[in-house]
A and B are shown apart, each in its own frame.
Chain A
Amino acid sequence: MTKRKLALAAAVLVIAAAAAILALGTSPGSAKSSGTFKAAWIYVGPHNDGGWSQAHDAGRLYVQKALGSKVQTTYKENIAVGAQLQQTVASLVSQGYKIIFGTSYGFFDKALAAKYPNVLFEQATGTDVAKNLSEYFGAAEDTVFLSGIAAGAAAQCNTIGYVVAYPIPEVIRHANAFALGAQLAHPGIKVKLVWTNSWFDPAKEKRSAQSLHGAGACVLGQNVDSPATGQYAESVNVPWVGYDSDAQKFAPKSWLTASVYNWGPYYLKRVKAAMNGTWKPGFYYGTISDGFTGLAKYGPDVSAKAKSLIAKWEAKLRANRGAEFTGPLYDQSGKLRVPKGKKLTVQQLYSMNWLVKGVIGSPKG
């Protein structure tokens, strides 16, 4: 066969293949399943990171299970803020998704929501609200506070190490809550911070845990997403408080407890509202009492005394969210920041940039 004929045959083949794809490949835009409501989640990390994104995915699965064939859910993982997020949203919208949950700050803003007025957007940990854009987060600081009590109670020295991510208000208020809880159970104890500047970096977190332990910490805690701190804690027989998920399997003996998020009930509520047209934008701030945040199972070494102190405060917090931030509260320099009897508002919590007395480390990173 001459080269020319070969080339011609190849060209025909390519055209045939293209035609096959266009004709036979079902485009997802052609919604055959027009009855099902489509909901999507966008994650900043892998859906099975054992931390933040995985908790959201658990919420998504909760919705899928509760609504069965009435809803079609999907997720996009490892989406960077910016161009990739734009593309992802554009493709989800063109595929007919009617409500999209963005699980990292900066995903959705007013401009994006205005671009797609017929789609509902929900942004976690964000601030913008619009006609079709709602915000949601919750008082994790309350349960982090409780987990701090467990840490303080388990401490047999004067320092707890706390591995933290970015010096932003969300992390700062969690660190403060943790310290307040530890000080409640163990007056005068110090909480030392090491910033990793990453939400999820197992090797860095382990290095940070090692440094804290070397500097005298006898209990380790974290506000980052991987269980690396716990694995290190287990290897040196030091108690450990986790974050985001029940990670006892990574450190069976060291495990104390952790503050965990239950995104499922909120997601179900919102998807149902979207489905029957009663969805309204707002600023949801979940609490212990509506099940948004809770404590993971206790480990073997949580004393009865600690458990009862935690139970007492949990009841208090159920009735009064954020009660742990009631004055008098002093910052690291000794200045009175919250006068006696006053409680910090949500807005103040959202912009918190100072650390309480007893925390060692800089709020600037």
Chain B
Amino acid sequence: MNNSLLVVLIASGVAYGTPLLFGALGELLAERSGVLNLGVEGMMLVGAVMGFWTVQRVHAGSAVALIAAVAVAALAGAATALVHAFLVITLRASQIVSGLAVTIFAGAAGLSSYLGNDLNLADVPASHTFHAFFPARMQNWPIVGPIVFGQTPLVYASWICVVAVVYYLARTRPGLNLRAVGEAPGAADAMGINVVAYRYVHTLIGGALAGVAGATFTLAITPQWVSGITGGAGWIAIALVIFAFWRPELCLVGAYFFGALQALAPELQARNISLGPTELWTNSIPYAATVIVLVIVSSRGGRRRLGAPAALGVPYVREE
């Protein structure tokens, strides 16, 4: 039963969807505060390279090295996000261009590649990697075994993050303020909420989570570093936020959906299931499915807003 297509796809979906989930959660927070961050891919790559560097350099036990690596990756992502935040919040630059500029600056042909090459991180396996946390016995339990207990600690950390973000947005004062900041910053400002501070903080958190997402690649999924290792996951994460209507719990569903669909092609091939031009279908399905799901859900809402924060993308200027 654990080897059935569905179970395998879901388990893969969870494992490979985790960087998408981290990235999407971060982007969700930034966008909720009104800042569109198209530089997620660049931030992921910076997090990936700096996390890998840390794990190679820290000479301590596995747990310490890995935790340090994740922390450094988060910091690196946040530092990159600081550039974007400064440009779009303080200097009121175009958020779209700034995000794309960050991707160029930090991306596969930019800073992350430079750092990786300069620090000689290529062609070397990671000194420590995240392994499955629970014992093999539990991993073999029917269905929940591979899906729940066969995952690395980063997956469990992502679940905690989802719960935290849900709670934060729905039940805490700052979380509710965040909603105001994203929808009507003028009103929020009048209420005494520091719009600029909220935007900065949430953009930086977004960058930090993107950094962790990148580190998931180099520390867990494929424990090596090469230029561009995230392979476009940042863009998928951005799309995922829209797909999830800016709701964290739907980000989880969407991330695993995407992850599972990406695992579909090799699984079908290995099981000798042929769907015609396999590569074309199975590679297109994740994207086509996203479009279809979005259209269906949007049309049910009719003319109502999707849930996008109304002030997304617009610099906040306090009228004096």
B266 touches A204 (CB 8 A): yes
Asked if B109 and A50 sit within 8 Å, CB to CB, the answer is no
On whether A50 and B16 interact (CB within 8 A), knowing A201-B231, A227-B224, the answer reads: no
Which B residues are closer than 8 A to A by beta carbons? 3, 8, 12, 16, 108-109, 113, 117, 122-125, 131, 217, 221-224, 226-229, 231, 262-263, 266-267, 269-272, 274, 277-279, 283
The answer to whether A231 touches B272, judged by C-beta atoms less than 8 angstroms apart, is no
Query: Complex formed: what's the CA distance from A78 to B228 in Å?
Result: 11
Shortest CB-to-CB span from A11 to chain B, Å, is 24
| Contact A196 B229, CB 8 Å, known A54-B123, A214-B3, A231-B222 | no
Q: Is B229's CB under 8 angstroms from A202's CB?
A: yes
A78 to B107, CA, bound (A): 13
Number of A-B contacts (CB under 8 A): 96
Nearest opposing residue in chain A for B272, CB measure:
A360
Complexed CA–CA distance, A278 and B227 (Å): 39
Contact of A193 with B by CB under 8 A: yes
The answer to whether the Cβ of A228 comes within 8 Å of any Cβ in the partner chain is yes
Chain A residues bordering chain B, tally (CB within 8 A): 37
Q: Which residues of A contact B223 (CB under 8 A)?
A: 231
Q: Which of B131, B226, B283 has the most CB of A within 10 A?
A: B226
B266 contacts A50, C-beta separation under 8 Å: no
CA A50 to CA B223, docked complex, whole Å: 13
Is residue A156 contacting chain B, with contact meaning CB distance below 8 A? no
The answer to whether B269 and A50 have CB atoms under 8 Å apart is: no
- B8 to A362, Cβ gap below 8 A? no
Centre residue among B122, B222, B272 by max chain A CB count within 10 A: B222
**Judging by beta carbons under 8 Å apart, are A249 and B125 in contact?**
yes
The answer to whether B279 touches A207, judged by C-beta atoms less than 8 angstroms apart, is no
Shortest distance in angstroms between B201's beta carbon and chain A's nearest beta carbon?
A: 31
Task: Let me know if A332 is at the binding interface, CB within 8 A.
Answer: no
A295 part of interface (Cβ distance < 8 Å): no
**7 A–B contact pairs at CB < 8 A?**
A192-B270, A195-B279, A201-B231, A202-B229, A226-B224, A231-B223, A360-B272
Query: Which listed residue, A78, A201, A211, A227, touches B267 by the CB 8 Å rule?
Result: A211
Q: How far is the CB of B151 from chain A (nearest CB, A)?
A: 13
Of all chain B residues, which has the CB nearest A200? B226
- Chain A residue numbers with a CB within 8 Å of B271 are 211, 215
The 6 closest A-B pairs by CB, nearest first: A48-B122, A211-B270, A202-B222, A50-B123, A215-B270, A211-B266
**B226 lies within 8 A of A196 (CB):** no
> Does A212 belong to the interface (CB within 8 Å)?
yes
* CB-defined contacts of A231 to chain B, threshold 8 Å: 125, 222-224
Smallest CB–CB gap between A220 and chain B, Å? 12
Interface-central residue, A48, A228, A365, by most chain B CB under 10 Å = A48
Minimum CB–CB distance for A5 against chain B, Å: 26
On whether the beta carbons of A250 and B224 are closer than 8 Å, the reply is yes
Among B8, B123, B221, find the residue whose CB has the most chain A CB atoms closer than 10 A.
B123
Residues on B with C-beta less than 8 A from A192 are: 270
Partner of B226, one of A161, A195, A206, A226: A226
Are the C-beta atoms of B263 and A362 separated by less than 8 Å?
no
Q: Are B221 and A203 in contact (CB-based, < 8 A)?
A: yes
Q: How far is the CA of A194 from the CA of B271 in the complex (A)?
A: 10
Chain A residues near B278: list those with CB within 8 A.
365
A46 B262 Cβ-Cβ under 8 A: no
A196 touches B122 (CB 8 A): no
Give the Cβ gap from B16 to chain A, nearest Cβ, in Å: 7
A49 touches B217 (CB 8 A): no
* Cα of A204 to Cα of B228 in the assembled complex, Å: 14
B279 touches A197 (CB 8 A): yes
Interface string of A234-268 (1 = CB under 8 A from B): 01000000000000011000000000000000000
Given contacts A194-B269, A365-B279, contact A202 B226 (CB under 8 A): yes
Q: Which of A307-361 contact B (CB under 8 A)?
A: 360-361
CA A362 to CA B272, docked complex, whole Å: 9
Neighbouring B residues of A360 by C-beta, 8 Å: 272
Q: In whole Å, how far is B228's beta carbon from the nearest beta carbon of chain A? A: 8
Cβ contact within 8 Å between A48 and B266: no
Minimum CB–CB distance for A49 against chain B, Å: 6
Of A46, A206, A250, which is within 8 A of B125 by CB? A250
Please name all residues of chain B whose beta carbon is closer than 8 Å to the beta carbon of A48 when the two chains form the complex.
117, 122-123, 226
Pairwise interchain contact B266-A208, C-beta atoms closer than 8 A? yes
Closest to A54 in B: B123
Please give the distance in Å from A234's CB to the nearest CB on chain B.
9
Quick one: closest B residue to A204, CB to CB?
A: B266
Q: Is the CB of A214 within 8 A of B270?
A: yes
- What residues of chain B lie closer than 8 Å to A206, measured between beta carbons? 221-222
- B227 and chain A: residue at smallest CB distance: A46
A45 to B122, CA, bound (A): 13
| Chain A residue at minimum C-beta to C-beta distance from B109 | A78
Residue from B3, B113, B272 within 8 A of A46 (CB atoms): B113
Closest partner residue, chain B, to A77 (CB atom):
B227
List chain A residues, Cβ under 8 A from B229: 202
Report the bound CA distance from A335 to B123 in whole Å. 43
- Shortest B268–chain A CB gap in Å is 8
* CB-based contact B125/A212 at 8 Å: no
Q: A194-B269, A196-B266, A206-B221 are contacts. A46–B274 as well, Cβ < 8 Å?
A: no
Task: Choose one: B125, B222, B272; the contact of A203 (CB below 8 Å).
Answer: B222
Q: Beyond A48-B123, A197-B279, A207-B16, is A212–B270 a contact (Cβ under 8 Å)?
A: yes
> A207 to B125, Cβ gap below 8 A?
no
Does chain B have a CB within 8 A of A74? no
Check B266 against A249 for contact (C-beta < 8 Å).
no
B269 contacts A228, C-beta separation under 8 Å: no
Cβ distance A246 to chain B, nearest Cβ, rounded Å: 11
